Amino acid sequence: MCIPGSLRPRQFDPQLAGAIQIQLKRMVDEFSLAQLRKLQVSSGAVNHLGCQMLKIEVLKFGSSVLRTPNELQVAVDEIYRRWRTNSKVLAVVSAFEGVTDQLIKEASNLIATDIEEATAAYIAQGEQRTAALLVGALARSGIPARVIEPHEIGLMAEGTSLESAPVGVDVTAIERFWHNHAVLVLPGFYGVDPRGHTALFGRGGSDLSALFLAAELAGTCRLLKDVSGVYDADPASSTAAHRFAALSWETAISVAGPLIQSKALRHAQSRALPFYVSRPNERACTRVGNIQDKWEAPTQPNRPLRIVLLGCGVVGRGVYEVLQHYRDTFEVCHVVVSDPEKHLDIPERTRDTHVASIDSIDVVVECFGGLTPYPLIAQALAQDKFVVTANKALVAARWADLSAFARGEKRQLWFSAAVGGALPALETLEHLATQKIPLAEIRGIINGTCGVVLDARAQGKTHHDAVALAQAQGFAEADPARDLSGRDSADKLSLMIEAAFGEWVGPEEIHTRGIDAIASDLKGYKLIARARRSKEGIVASVAPEVLTPGSFLHEAKGAENRIEIELAGGQVIRLRGQGAGRWPTAVSVMGDLHEIGRLPILDSTVATQATPLNVARMTKEARSERGSQTPSAINEGPR
C-alpha cells in the first residue's frame, strides 16, 4: 500500500482554508465560553476549575521533546508548572519519535490502499499511546489527569481521512471534563469526520490541534520543542544562531516552517492567535504573532545550578532521580546521607553536612525532615544560597526567623511541597493574595497518612495494620505520631493561613485534635483543617469530622488531599491532588527548583528590536548557508 503524500509536509491549501472558515461561520455554540464560565462561578458550588481567576493553557508536546517514554517526566514538570500557577491545562501530544513512521510502514503492508479510514485509525494509535502513558506519569506524581479522545469533545475534521483540518469542537464538553480533572491530555494529530471516522491533520498535525483548540478556548498556546524558540539558523549546528524574542506572522511563515507545521501557522494567523515556542521548563521563548520582530540579545549559556541534596530517603531519592533528567540545568554535587553504604549507586553520596556551606553551591535541597536541619538551612540562607524544602514542621516552628527569606523578588526560601504534596495549595493562596481577592475560609484534608489510616480502619483493619499499610506505601513516617495527632496538619495550616490571610498563627495556637482521639467507630471521619476570618481574628482548628456523603471533601480517598477555598463573595475554589509520597512531593520540590532556575536575576538577557534590514540579512545569510532550505530552528519536520 502506498501512503499518499498528504502525510508529508505540504504547502498551505487556500481552498481548504476557505472551507474551514465557512464551516466556522456556520457553527454556533449553545453557550459561549464566557457564558459557561459565568454560570459556573455564579453557581457557588463549582470546583477550582470554575473560578474566573483561572487561565487556560494549551501545551503541545511533540516527538522532539517526548522521544521515548523516559522523557515523560519532562512533560509532567511542565504541566505541573502551569497547573501550580492557577491554570487549567490541556496537553496535546504527538507519538513518540519514529512511532508514526513505523505505523505508516505497517499500514502500507497490512491495509488495502482504498481503506483510508482504517489506515488513519491505525496511524493514530501512536498519539493514543503517548497520551495514555502521560496520564499514567501524571497520576504517579499525584496530578489528577484524564485522557480525552477527539470524539468525546466533538473535535470535528473536514477533508479526507489522511489529510484534514479541524473545523469545530464542543467547548462545553472540555469544560465538563475539566470540572473533575485539573489536566486533560488529548492525542493530537487527528479528529473525527462527519461519519465518525478518524481523520488525520497531516504531518505536524499536533501543532494544528493545539493552536485550533487554544483559539476555541480563548487560551494561551505553547508549542514545546527541543529548542528554546525560533532561531535564524539551527542552534545545534551554528554557534552564530540567534533566537527571536518575538516574530511577526510574515517572518514566522518565512523562517519557522520546518519547526512548526505550515498549516498550523496559517491557521493561527487567520485566527489572530499569538502563541509561544520554547523548551519545556525554561523561561526563554519566542512569541509568534507580534507586531514587530525582536531579537533576543546573545548571551552565554547559564551554567547548571549546583545542588546539595540533604537526605535520600523517600522524598530525597525521588528528587535525586528526577534531577537526572535535567543535567544541563542542575548539577547534583553532593548527596548527604547518614549511611553511605546504603546508597552505593549514588556517586555523590557523603556523610559530611559541611558540603552545604561550600561557596560554589547555589541551592540546598533539604529532605531530612524534623527540626535538626535548621542550622544548615540558616547558614545556607546567610550565605545567599537558595533553599528548597518540604519540611513543614521546621518552617512552621522557625517562621519568625525564616519569614524574611520567604517573600519578595529576592526570595531564597521555597517550600511549596510543605503543604499538599502535588496539590498547589500555597501557590493558589499566594496567587489570590497577590490579586487582592478576599477570602472567607479555607478548609480541607491536608494529611495523606490519616486518609490512608482512616480508609483502612473503615475497611476493618486494626489500628496497627492500618498504620503499617500507610508506612508500607511510603506515606507515614516510622513514628507517625505527628500525623495521627493532627500536629502535622496544624503545621501546614499555619503556613496556609499566612499565605491566605497574611497573618501568622502558630501551630501551638491552633485547636488540634487528631484521629487518635476518636473513641468510637472511625467510619465516615476525615481529619479536617479549617481557618476563617472573624471579627475577633483568625479562627483555626484541626479535628476529625463526619462529613456529608457526596460532598467534595467527603469523597477524598486514601492519601489524596483536598482543599476548599471560599472567597468572600461565596465562590468556592476546589483543589485535589496526591498529598504525600515520593513522586507527588518530588514534583513539587522540582517545581520550586525550576522556578529558581528561571529567575531573571540569574541572567542578563535583554530583548532588542529586529529591524527589517536585520531580518532580510538573516534570511539571506541563512539561506545561503543552507542552500535552498528554509531557515528554521531545526532541519526536521514539526514535532
Q: What angle do CA 341, 343, 349 make, to 5 degrees?
A: 95
Report d(CA 509, CA 490) in Å as an integer.
9
Query: What does the block give as the cell for 176?
Result: 465538563
Q: Angle between the 72-83 and 582-597 helix axes, to the nearest 10 degrees? A: 70
CA distance 446 to 302: 38
- Domains annotated for the chain, with CATH where assigned, are 31-224 (3.40.1160.10), 228-299+608-639 (no CATH), 305-418+589-601 (3.40.50.720), 425-580 (3.30.360.10)
- Rounded Cα distance between 6 and 200, Å, is 9
According to DSSP, the residues that pair with 562 across neighbouring strands are 445, 576
CA distances, 433 to each of 274, 438, 510, 529, 603 (Å): 29, 7, 22, 20, 28
Which tens digits make up the pLDDT trace of 380-422?
A: 999 999 999 999 999 999 999 999 999 888 899 999 999 999 9
CA contacts within 13 A on the Cβ side of 336: 17
149, 131 Cβ separation under 8 angstroms: no
**Residue 610 DSSP one-character state:** P
* pLDDT at position 477: 87
The model's pLDDT over 3-41, given as tens digits with 9 standing for 90+, comes to 444 444 333 344 434 443 434 333 333 333 443 343 333
- Model's pTM, two decimal places? 0.87
**Cα distance between residue 227 and residue 243, in whole Å:** 10
Cell 479536617 identifies what position? 528
Rg for the chain, CA atoms, rounded: 26
Low-confidence ranges of the chain (pLDDT < 50): 1-52, 604-637, 639
Contacts for 495 with CB less than 8 Å, ≥ 6 apart: 392, 395, 396, 415, 418, 419, 426
Relative to beta strand 275-278, strand 286-288 is: antiparallel
For residues 3 and 77, what is the distance between their CA atoms, to the nearest angstrom? Answer: 36
Q: What is the pLDDT of residue 112?
A: 86
